[in-house]
Structure 1
């Protein structure tokens, strides 16, 4: 649950935490069903086969913190490249 909240906050997107225990296997089944032409496209397979889940909305207050941390990361990366260029 915490990871899903972090994903939502960091991306600013609504995230759906799937109810399926094996969501990866369900997704693989959707792709296989589409490849077997049981559905016209992957979107149709997803709509038909999805099992719902808990919706996590982004926290707008957290967005500023993630933006700040990302700017710090970019600056650290820039400085690291400058140091590597000295060697």
Structure 2
């Protein structure tokens, strides 16, 4: 593995949440930018490496079957204004 991995945005919800995925180590997270930044790590992957990505020329990619977040994760998302539907 290299010292950095590139994240790919794989989904965006109307509520503002975006799902990002690292095809190298499986890291998955949901990010909301506005009105207040929030991040939920669904799969840590290799959290010792730097991960980055960008939306300029967004690439969407097929990902492995999504693992549903735990009820605690869903509650955290709800409290922060992010709805989650399976």
Specify the TM-score bucket, using the shorter chain as the normaliser: under 0.3
TM-score (norm 1): 0.21
Q: Which has the higher helix share?
A: 1
Q: Which has the higher strand share?
A: 2
Higher relative contact order (CA 8 A, sep 6+): 1
